[in-house]
Amino acid sequence: QSVLTQPPSVSGAPGQRVTISCTGSSSNIGAGYDVHWYQQLPGTAPKLLIYTNVNRPSGVPDRFSGSKSGTSASLAITGLQAEDEGDYYCQSYDNSLNAFYVFGSGTRVTVL
């Protein structure tokens, strides 16, 4: 059971906008720790997509954007493209006993 909760799946037609939520608690996101997002395309290793809530690494299209508020964060994909199909994970730090880095349960994005 993941510490951060994400919807199992989201879908959209090409060109549409989809959002993925990431809900945490007072020991992670709510405590002020940053949220990072990773994209895992089929058969590949995860790749950093958004860091420190809103920042895109070099090479990541501006179709991807992140936000954070309270105990939650969100990833938005605008202008959805077929190559965006894959799994997306949020990640943060957790200050509870025996915790450290925590991941979301992952969200499968399907392009219809």
Partner 1 sequence: EVQLVESGGALVQPGGSLRLTCVASTSAFGNHEMNWVRQAPGKGLEWISYISSGGTPTFYGDSVKGRFTISRDNARNSLYLEMHVLRAEDTALYYCVRGGAAGPDVLDLWGQGTMVIVSS
> Taking CA 16 as the corner, what is the angle to CA 12 and CA 17, rounded to the nearest 5 degrees?
90
How many helices (H) does the chain have, and how many strands (E)? 0, 9
Contact call for residue 109 and partner 1 (CB under 8 A): no
Among 23, 31, 46, 85, binds partner 1 (CB under 8 A): 46
Among 48, 69, 85, 95, binds partner 1 (CB under 8 A): 48
Among 27, 72, 74, 92, binds partner 1 (CB under 8 A): 92
Q: How many residues bind partner 1 (CB under 8 A)?
A: 26
- Total Cβ atoms within 10 A of residue 41: 13
- The DSSP bridge partners found for residue 48 are 38
Contact call for residue 36 and partner 1 (CB under 8 A): yes
Looking at the Cβ atoms of 5 and 15, the one nearer to partner 1 is 5
Alpha carbon 89 to chain centroid, angstroms = 4
Q: Which stretch binds partner 1 (CB under 8 A): 15-23, 59-67, 70-78, 104-112?
A: 104-112
Dist. CA 59–CA 50, nearest whole Å: 11
Report yes or no: 96 and 24 within 8 Å, Cβ to Cβ: no
Residues that bind partner 1 in the complex, under the rule CB under 8 A: 2, 33-34, 36, 38, 45-48, 51-52, 55, 57, 87, 89, 91-93, 98, 100-106
